Amino acid sequence: MDDIIRLENLVKIYDTGAVRVLGLDTINLSIKKGEFVSIMGHSGSGKSTLMNILGCLDRPTLGNYYLDGVSIRDMGSDELSRIRNRKIGCVFQSFNLISRMSIEKNVEIPMIYARKRPAERRNRAIELLTKVGLRERLWHQPNELSGGQRQRVAIARALANDPPLILADEPTGNLDSGASVEIMELFARLHREGATVVVVTHEENIAAYTRRIITFSDGKLISDRINENPTGFSEHSDLCERIS
Amino acid sequence: MLLENMKMAFSALKANKMRSFLTMLGIIIGIGSVIAIVSIGDTMRKMFTDLYKDVGLTQAFIQPGYWLEDVRLSDYFTMDDIEKLKDIFGEDIEYIDSSPSVSGEVTVGRRKKNFNLNGIDFNYIDVQPVDIVYGRYINEGDVKGRKQNAVMEIEAAKEMFGSENAVGKTFRMTVYGSVMEFNIVGVYRKDMSPFQKLMMGTGNGTGEAFIPWTLLTWPNDNFYSIRYFADTDLDERSLSALNSEIVSYIARSKGRTSEDFYFSTAAEEMGAVDSVLGGVSAAVGGIAAISLLVGGIGIMNIMLVSVTERTREIGTRKALGATTGDIMIQFLTESAVLSAVGGTIGVMLAVGLVSLGGMLFSLEVVIKPAVILMAVGFSAVVGIFFGIYPAKKAASKDPIIALRYE
């Protein structure tokens, strides 16, 4: 039972009044602790719907979602907030940093909601920003950073409460190829350090970084394969060194 | 957490300085005007109260009712009436006269000036103290002998005679149609606030002097009113008992009822003025409070804009673990801070302006702490009240939709 994610006959139906749309059709899926997984699919394939459910932002219509062994089906919204806060680190396509706060403060946000003490929050934020190579930028505002740097701040923020699951929704969607490589290398490194990372993407070369690639189409899981030869384990080792 | 919310609120308000200031302006003006108006009202009430205290709160007037249609000569008062009152009520009355005064033009050489000559008894100085700077006050001999002696106010003396010490000088004035010549036997000074001078009719170029009241009982030693100062040691109940006894005695002696006489006391008048002023300042303050309401609506408006603008932020915060309550409190804190800062600025502005006004007019201003507390409390309540709806709107946003908001 070291599944971090387990989906049992999960169904999501969108009821817009006039039309009922089947968002996810009977998904069964397990992701173990420490896996590095990508979820692929074209737009409308159901991958975003799955992402929302995995991120505890939405609930399944039918079936069960066990996160870290706990079913979220009957949780209230405050309980879900707590789960999102402690168990999940979210990374978004457009970074979603709060613009009028320093990046250090941005990293503190999940810890504020976890009711951690100010000194503890600060130390942890500095530690994480050091880890993603932004030690010198603590007091900068997000708009003073490049896209890649901003996404690194967002990753540091996702790690703030040391969650067992990192969920990234198209994390390289707004980045140029250089920055994309940088971010995927960072995820690969986190994976090597033991984190469970799930990346949603529609780009083959991004998915290529992960060890397991799950493909969705029309709300159905159509393929689940192991990537024997993931990108980034040898070629970019110099970059890995630089970041760490 | 509260501290964190406060910090977040301040940083959010700082991010939009101009907008925050304009929003606060409504509260600043609202709070400022409520405090300013109530303080001005309280200051005026205090000025009037002081004025009446200075005039003597135990002072009372009696006249035959102006509503009487059959006023007879016997309804008028005589010297005899005053003597009898002194005999009967002397113990509780400090001073009594007919409160006469005449005004007219006084000429000394080329100098001309309007004067009020106030008829008084020799012991008037006990109930209305003045400083005798030169010479003496009106004495018993002046009153009994109806001597044409006068005690002049120092500024007027200086103006008429060129020097403050006018003792020994004379002046003429037409009294009841005939010219009288008065010898100045003394010069006095009375310290008055500018407001007192204004209300007492001095300071506007009219000179003041005291003369024996027995000179002003024309015609035939009959007069229309009696005034007395009751002993200031009397408590409220014995004072009103004394007043009604005096009125009924006078009524009986004139063969009338108490209801036929007009009776008023300084205390009563003061109460009436005070309640009118209190009512006016409460009413105007209430109108000013409406501007607070408008300010509150301004806050609600800008908070609604802010919530819409920050939809993504709200979505992000929720995704990172903020509960509905966390978001609600964040936005409520923001509107409360907006309102409280505005309220504080308003208080400072009002206190500053009222104090400045007091300095300019050399008045002792009254700013009650309770009024300030109430205004600031009210502004915080306004901020929270008008913040509830926007905060609820923010808190109830669906994070999935909020995250996708452009």
Residues 6+ apart with CB under 8 A from B26: B291, B292, B294, B295, B296, B297, B298, B299, B342
* Domain A32-61+76-243 in CATH 1.10.8.50: no
> How many CB pairs below 8 A link A and B?
63
Chain A residues with CB-CB distance to B6 below 8 A = none
Residue A49 contacts B where some CB pair is shorter than 8 Å: no
A137-183: per-residue pLDDT in tens?
889 999 999 999 999 999 999 999 999 999 999 999 889 988 999 99
Chain A residues with CB-CB distance to B11 below 8 A = 100-101
Of the partner residues B1, B12, B400, the one whose CB lies closest to the CB of residue A115: B1
Q: How confident is the model at residue B14 (pLDDT cuts 50, 70, 90)?
A: confident
Most B CBs within 10 A among A98, A106, A108, hence the mutation to make, goes to A98
Instruction: Calculate mean pLDDT across residues B13-37.
Output: 89
B346-389: per-residue pLDDT in tens?
999 999 999 998 888 877 888 888 888 888 888 888 888 999 99
Chain B residues with CB-CB distance to A84 below 8 A = 318-321
| Residues on chain B bordering chain A, Cβ-to-Cβ distance under 8 angstroms | 1, 4, 11-12, 14-15, 312-313, 315-326, 399-400, 403
Number of H helices, E strands in chain A: 8, 10
Q: pTM for the full model? A: 0.74
Q: How confident is the model at residue B201 (pLDDT cuts 50, 70, 90)?
A: low
With both helix axes pointing from N to C terminus, report the angle between A118-131 and A103-113 in degrees, rounded to the nearest 10: 130
C-alpha distances out from residue B94 to A217, B227, B270, Å: 108, 11, 20
Of the partner residues A52, A100, A110, the one whose CB lies closest to the CB of residue B321: A110
**Beta-carbon neighbour count of residue A222 at 10 Å?**
12
A209-244: per-residue pLDDT in tens?
999 999 999 888 999 999 888 886 554 444 544 554
Q: ipTM for the complex?
A: 0.91
Sequence ranges of the domains in chain A: 32-61+76-243
B72-117: per-residue pLDDT in tens?
888 888 888 888 999 999 889 999 998 888 888 888 888 888 999 9
B257-309: per-residue pLDDT in tens?
888 899 998 888 888 888 998 898 888 888 888 888 888 899 999 999 999 99
C-alpha distances out from residue B276 to B13, B198, B266, Å: 43, 20, 15
* Of A54-58, B36-40, B49-53, B168-172, minimum mean pLDDT range: B49-53
Fill in the amino acid letter for B70: D
Contact B403 A77 (CB under 8 A): no
Give the whole-angstrom CA distance, residue B6 versus residue B12: 10
Whether B209 contacts B142, CB under 8 Å: no
Residue B110's pLDDT is 83
Whether B131 contacts B188, CB under 8 Å: yes
Whether B143 contacts B212, CB under 8 Å: yes
Of the candidates A6, A219, A94, which has an alpha carbon nearest to the alpha carbon of residue B319?
A94
Of the candidates B238, B273, B243, which has an alpha carbon nearest to the alpha carbon of residue B261?
B243
Q: How confident is the model at residue B188 (pLDDT cuts 50, 70, 90)?
A: very high
